[in-house]
Structure 1
């Protein structure tokens, strides 16, 4: 996959008009912005529409490039996708048909969503052909969990030079599945497959993120029977048919945390409309410990500094723990705290690669690539975990940096906004994969920048 090429295409799709932003930093971000539906729910909800016999209406859809990728993939399979109003998608699966592999391969290059098409396509067409998967290079994202789950349902998985061909000549049957790790993607795979499989599926060690719960709500609206039990266990009773849904997507927690971290790093004051307390509680606790303040209102949350920034210890984990997607933007703010902060990454092993550029900008971050043991760790030991030690406060200075991945990319924007002097951030199309109209929002917050 050519990340630079995909980034340029992504930027063009969401109206960036360029792949580079020049920022004059050192100015607090102040103002009001709005976040819409979660990237990690909207794209999955679009795939779920394939399961229905009638059209589905998805509301609060973000204008991001990942949504455009899935729109084009659905179109390739014959799903009619229209936009009746801003932030809405009407998805009609009445004429679903097999798509040419080359077309799907070309569309899927910058997204990992195609793997979730497997279950719905097996139910609708009897087979699925999945190309090599893309996505951000932040660590190992094995698809073994997905393939093992599909095999448990009775699917036959064949790998070839083209990709992965999956068939179910005898249909899909309910299964007893226990995930070795509460993977969000694998949990989604099981849900999207089990709802139409014959019999009952028991899923143990499932992910229970708010976006998973929102997907379950969508499937229940469609006619699915799903019970969420204690201890990460989900029961799904297969049904013969599903209808379409009307659903408003849950807000994007990752975008909220990113703008909150920007307020903390730049000593700004940002009101994020659309944010809700319940889904952000773990982040809000760390935000407050680090010296941040927040004001919960009916229509959003205001984020600001409540005093001097203080060092914290953060361990990423699956929900309800601290999200791995939250630590990257927060690390920039922690570089401004007085003391030593520690961030232990237990989800993805390569997620600290972005810190090299931050060090070039004046941060003091040491990454322990094999982690280290501590009696104070609360999250269980996991393979390939890493630890970043951030010593501050550091005076960041402008630099030329290239975006490596989605969350790291937004972190570079925060660093450039925090730094004294001028920075140029390239490859910003990748940021458009998950941050809606972020350039427009920078303008709303008073950032000084130009698009080259």
Structure 2
């Protein structure tokens, strides 16, 4: 990580910014293009680092990628898919975990795949072993080597019956991308049903896949021998929209988020209103603002969709430091997601972290000795500090804290924020933030 942002806080964020396609969907749709034997077109693509990483990895495998960056349109032609060199994959993957999702499509197209050691944000346990076990159930042969993991399918891939112990987004994506061209029927129980997952299913159906989703989180996929291309417009990034909404609340500002949509954000909007924020849903976006007066403390529990998503939690916690009373936040998705609060405490926030499940039912982390609950006492004025970005969402939350605090803060490691927030520095400037970037 590199990059330094100097922020003079204490000024409300006011103005308009635009959000484009969802980080958690766009990269997966790009991977899905590998499954097709015809070109695909993806629109509303944001200018974020993850898109560049996937583009590079696709090119390494022979996919022609034409990214019209200003218009947000990507053309993907997988007609000449080929194996890539191990060293090249490792060099281009960096800290991204996306390569694990290349396995199913590459096994179908080439009969083999290779993945290097995988990185990602250090917010909790994201082992690839479960992904590999899913691939084994489809018939993949996994060979762990010094440089990484080699996979092959000497007898092809076949349908499987898979039941997830937890509705994991990554495991659901892995199953979908592998099952659509596997011979026979695949039944996935306890699947994730996030909006980004449903948009991926829509893309796969456009390509020729046969997928049904039941109300009990069961997904059935009838494998087909061939898939074509797709033409699709990505859904908006509900995480980025919620992050800017939290920034408006914490800084007592007023932000119109062009491109934000209501259906995917209904749970967030309810919570935003309970805290005391105001919003106005329009045809072309959502306006979020602090209406004045005191903010209210709340009890909040993150959960898989349709619950309050974990990626909304960190930015909102910054706003809760300005709410009156005790707020309780119970994190049930990632066990180590409260590491970002250490910097907030250094800025004057009163946040206590607990191993117990607080504010709701017992969760899977309750008996595993993880600090996964927080009590936030407010309102507390925040003071400027020097901060190191810990991860993507925590990093943006630190930006919000620095913008809220009185004085000048220095936030280092900001390059990681580019993984999921398009042109965030330009957007800060558009909202009147007093921020200066140093190389």
8 Å contact kept, 2:138–2:157? yes
3-state SS in 2 of match to 1:396? coil
> Which residue of structure 2 lines up, in the alignment, with residue 252 of structure 1?
237
Counterpart selection for 2:317 from 327, 331, 334: 331
Alignment of 1:30-41 (within 5 A): 30-41=14-25
> What is the CA–CA distance in structure 1 between the aligned matches of 2:415 and 2:434, rounded to whole Å?
19
8 Å contact kept, 1:128–1:166? yes
Aligned-pair distance for 1:349? Answer: 1.3
User: Are 1:70 and 2:66 matched, yes or no?
Assistant: no
Q: Which runs of 5+ in 1 are unaligned?
A: 9-18
> What is the CA–CA distance in structure 2 between the aligned matches of 1:109 and 1:175, rounded to whole Å?
31
> Which residue of structure 2 lines up, in the alignment, with residue 26 of structure 1?
10
User: Are 1:265 and 2:250 matched, yes or no?
Assistant: yes
Structure 1 length as normaliser, TM-score? 0.94
> Which residue of structure 1 lines up, in the alignment, with residue 40 of structure 2?
56
> What is the CA–CA distance in structure 2 between the aligned matches of 1:37 and 1:30, rounded to whole Å?
23
8 Å contact kept, 1:138–1:405? yes
> What is the CA–CA distance in structure 2 between the aligned matches of 1:378 and 1:326, rounded to whole Å?
20
Moved beyond 6 Å, runs of 4+? none
3-state SS in 2 of match to 1:338? strand
Counterpart selection for 1:121 from 81, 106, 114: 106
Aligned-pair distance for 1:38? Answer: 0.4
> Which residue of structure 1 lines up, in the alignment, with residue 413 of structure 2?
427
8 Å contact kept, 2:335–2:365? no
8 Å contact kept, 2:314–2:394? yes
- String of CA shifts for 1:102-147, please: whole Å, max 9, x gaps: 1001111220000000000000110111111111111110123211
8 Å contact kept, 2:392–2:420? yes
Aligned-pair distance for 1:371? Answer: 2.3
Counterpart selection for 1:362 from 340, 348, 365: 348
Counterpart selection for 2:375 from 385, 389, 392: 389
3-state SS in 2 of match to 1:70? helix
3-state SS in 2 of match to 1:44? helix
Q: Which runs of 5+ in 2 are unaligned?
A: none
Structure 2 length as normaliser, TM-score? 0.97
8 Å contact kept, 1:317–1:379? no
Aligned-pair distance for 1:350? Answer: 1.2
8 Å contact kept, 1:29–1:267? yes
Instruction: Report which stretch shifted further, 140-149 or 327-336.
Output: 140-149
Alignment of 1:87-106 (within 5 A): 87-106=72-91
User: Are 1:137 and 2:125 matched, yes or no?
Assistant: no
> Which residue of structure 2 lines up, in the alignment, with residue 219 of structure 1?
204
> What is the CA–CA distance in structure 1 between the aligned matches of 2:173 and 2:335, rounded to whole Å?
22
> Which residue of structure 2 lines up, in the alignment, with residue 13 of structure 1?
none
> Which residue of structure 2 lines up, in the alignment, with residue 15 of structure 1?
none
- String of CA shifts for 1:306-333, please: whole Å, max 9, x gaps: 3421101111111111111111000000
> What is the CA–CA distance in structure 1 between the aligned matches of 2:278 and 2:364, rounded to whole Å?
32
Aligned-pair distance for 1:165? Answer: 1.2
3-state SS in 2 of match to 1:371? coil
> Which residue of structure 1 lines up, in the alignment, with residue 360 of structure 2?
377
> Which residue of structure 2 lines up, in the alignment, with residue 319 of structure 1?
305
3-state SS in 2 of match to 1:356? helix
> Which residue of structure 2 lines up, in the alignment, with residue 440 of structure 1?
426
3-state SS in 2 of match to 1:24? strand
Aligned-pair distance for 1:162? Answer: 1.3
Counterpart selection for 1:276 from 252, 261, 282: 261
> What is the CA–CA distance in structure 1 between the aligned matches of 2:209 and 2:283, rounded to whole Å?
32
> Which residue of structure 2 lines up, in the alignment, with residue 150 of structure 1?
135
